[in-house]
Amino acid sequence: MKDYLKLSIEMHKKFNGKLEIKSKVPLENRDDLSTVYSPGVAGPCLEISKDKKNAFKLTSAKKTIGIISDGTAVLGLGNIGPDAAIPVMEGKALLFKKFAGLDAFPIVLNAKSTDEIVNAVKAIAPSFGGINLEDISAPNAFEVEDRLKKELDIPVFHDDQHGTAIVVLAGLINALKVVNKGKEAKIVVNGAGAAGIAVVKLLHKYGFKDIIVCDSKGIISNERGDLNNSKKEILSYSNKNNLSGNLLQAMKGSDIFVGVSKGDLLKKEHIKAMNKKPIVFALANPRAELAPELAQEYNIEVFATGRSDYPNQINNVLAFPGIFKGAIEAKAKNISEKMLIEAAKALSNLVKFPTASKIIPGPFESDIASIIAEAVKKAV
Which position among 62, 92, 201, 325 bears the catalytic label? 92
- 233 and 271 both lie in a single domain: yes
- 122 and 219 both lie in a single domain: no
- 185 and 323 both lie in a single domain: yes
- 141 and 170 both lie in a single domain: no
- H/E run at residue 176: helix 159-179
Over residues 233-270, the pLDDT tens digits come to 999 999 999 999 999 999 999 999 999 998 889 999 99
pLDDT at 127: 94
Over residues 339-367, the pLDDT tens digits come to 999 999 999 999 999 999 999 999 888 78
Note the Cα 316 to chain centre separation in Å.
Answer: 4
* Catalytic residue flag (residue 92): yes
pLDDT at 110: 96
For helices 159-179 and 320-329, what crossing angle results, to 10°? 110
Longest Cα–Cα distance in the chain: 75
Over residues 108-121, the pLDDT tens digits come to 999 989 999 999 99
- 217 and 248 both lie in a single domain: yes
159, 180, 211 - which closes a domain: 159
Which position among 37, 53, 112, 267 bears the catalytic label? 37
Give the CATH number of the domain where residue 47 resides.
3.40.50.10380
Is 3 contained in some domain? no
Is 12 contained in some domain? no
Give the CATH number of the domain where residue 364 resides.
3.40.50.720
Is 315 contained in some domain? yes
Is 89 contained in some domain? yes
Query: Taking the chain, what is the end-to-end CA distance rounded to the nearest angstrom?
Result: 44
159, 183, 212 - which closes a domain: 159
Q: Please tell me whether the overall predicted TM-score, pTM, comes out greater than 0.75 for this model.
A: yes
Is the Cβ–Cβ distance between 259 and 187 less than 8 Å?
no
Residue 379 structural domain: 160-380
Residue 103 C-beta-side C-alpha neighbours within 13 Å:
14
93, 124, 159 - which closes a domain: 159
Overall number of domains in the chain: 2
- 153 and 164 both lie in a single domain: no
